[in-house]
Amino acid sequence: MSLQALKQGTSTLELNLSISSPPDLLNAVNSLWQVAIQVPSMPPSAVKNESELKGIRDFFEAALKCYIKCADFTGIEQCFEILTNLYQDYSEILKDSEDQWKIWGLYLTYLLSYNKIEEFHSELESVPWNLYTDNKYIQFAVTLEQFFMEGNYQEVLSAKNHSPSSEFDFFINRISDTIRFEIASSFEKAYEKLSVEGACQLLKLNDYSELAAFLQAYAERSGKDIWRIENNELLIKSNEKKTHEIPKWQLINQALNYAIELERIV
């Protein structure tokens, strides 16, 4: 009964993906998730029924698309964890799904969007070599990583114009935030205070509201809440003592170089 309900729910979910609102999609996914965990073969169960595993995989592939549309990071991470497990540990039972390598490409791009370069290379080892060039989704992620590591940010951001699927755009947008975080991590060590206008110029943000939103996102992502805005100035509390002027100016120069690259792609 649970498997049949899961299959029917997954079909409905896929049909409604393009027309339902994010809250409705999340409610549907969360309800089906509860159905999925009742299926006997749901990992890490010792039961390995092919039909059940296929139904579970199909649901989480659909759920991932919903979470991307809803920008639900927790859901995205959980789906990736379950799906990569199914793809790797159950490959002798399950044939490749139609979306499997697309999702592998999305997963690799997701890792890049969080600057998880070591994990990217570790997970890439699970992908057959021929797919690096023969599969458009894997090739896209591999090429994107090369541009990212070269610091060729213009090519990284222009990649959105020819991404193999619209789902990739979500992660490419996050990469633009990663570039800004790289800039911020440089100038936070070089400045004790900075005008709001100057900070916006360095980060290529339009106004105070965008800067405030960025500071909040940076604090959440880096775990460092070191800024406050006061009297139109960005005050930076650094834990590192700036005892040498040369490193300071090197960091400022690095921040400016990042800003120049960002200017080319905005």
**Mean pLDDT per 10-residue interval, the chain, length 266 residues:** 88 88 92 94 92 96 95 94 94 92 96 90 92 94 89 72 89 81 75 84 82 86 79 70 46 60 58
Predicted pLDDT of residue 119: 94
Please tell me whether the overall predicted TM-score, pTM, comes out greater than 0.95 for this model: no
pLDDT for res 239: 44
Take residue 203 and report the two structure tokens written for it: 């980060």
Q: Find where tokens 């993906």 sit.
A: 17
DSSP 53-94: HHHHHHHHHHHHHHHHHHT-HHHHHHHHHHHHHHHHHTTTTS
- Give the angle subtended at the CA of 182 by the CAs of 178 and 183, to the nearest 5°: 120
pLDDT for the residue 258: 60
Question: What residues have CB less than 8 Å from 224, skipping those under 6 apart?
Answer: 188, 218
Q: Are 176 and 258 in contact (CB under 8 A)?
A: no
- pLDDT value for 229: 85
pLDDT of residue 265: 53
Note the maximum CA span of the chain: 70
